[in-house]
Amino acid sequence: MDAGVSILAGSASARLGAAVCELAGIPPLAHESRRFPDGEQQAELAESVRGRDVFVIQATSPPVDVHLIELLMLADACRRAGAGRLTGILPYLGYARQDRRAGRRSLGGRVAADVIATAAFDRIVIIDAHTAAIEGFFSVPIEHLTAVPLLAGAAAPVLPQRAVVVAPDLGAVKLAREYARLLHLPMAIVHKTRLDGETVEAKTVIGDVAGRAPLIVDDMVSTGSTIEAAAGALRAAGAVDPVTVAVTHALLIGRAAELVPTLGLARIVASDSVEHDGHAPLPITTVSLAPLVAGAVRRLHNEESLSDARYPA
């Protein structure tokens, strides 16, 4: 890749950033992110970026606020060091689920977008955000990428012949259609009602799942409540094992460690948008986003269209 490109990976995306640099054939931008005893953060670059095309890779994954501030500090360091152009690549975008206001609640998605805009990025790249409408919150140009083709390709070898793609709620229908198209499988939908932040109720399954092994697809799995409700509804409707889950973002937070192993899932197929240091609650087939991100970096640097960037090149 052109010598005028620099790639800087924050702590939330260190392994992904290293893999992107390896594919791009350039060393990662040397830097230090430090935390002071009072909790404040600071970022310092160890080399010049003056006039360079800089890409900052940092998921705003849990702990969201810590990683969000680190993203801002890294961007500020690059700007103050004279970066010619600055692009933020956010493999996972925190606060994206807070995309609509109810009652007297805050609108977290808009607040996060406004905060990120203060970093003066020239553009932001996001991967399978919870809703594409989140773009409307940003004053910075947004580029959308999807990991669905990579995840579908990884899931295909482990699916039995009589499989069915399942959207666990109405919000995942568009995503499920794309999986079904890529895998040449029928599709079904679970009608879900969220009772609170960790409790979900599913009653109705739309589509024929009897005697079929479900591939439940979503943009993320958080506490596992949605998967729990969907799996129960599918089995009640006659679906059979193995039950597989494919998600871009495997947060696996809260009660997920206790809940997910009890659901009788064969596996979760997920990207590395969210990096985990501990042990996963069940076998996870991890699909690297590095080819997708490296392809996008090359195209953006060369001012090429991203229309084909969903496929590694």
Q: Which residues are catalytic?
A: 192
Q: Which two tokens stand for residue 211?
A: 């005697």
CA distance 175 to 60: 22
Question: Residue 151, Cα to own-chain centre: how many angstroms?
Answer: 12
How far apart are the C-alpha atoms of 243 and 266, rounded to whole Å?
6
Residue-by-residue DSSP string for 21-87: HHHHTSPPPPEEEEE-TTS-EEEEESS--BT-EEEEE----SSHHHHHHHHHHHHHHHHHTTBSEEE
Minimal CA–CA distance to 72: which of 36, 125, 112? 112
CB 23 within 8 A of CB 294: yes
List beta partners, residue 201.
Answer: 193
Cβ atoms of 184 and 136 within 8 Å: the answer is no
Amino acid letter for position 308 = D
Q: Checking DSSP bridges between strand 187-194 and strand 163-167, what pairing results, if any?
A: parallel
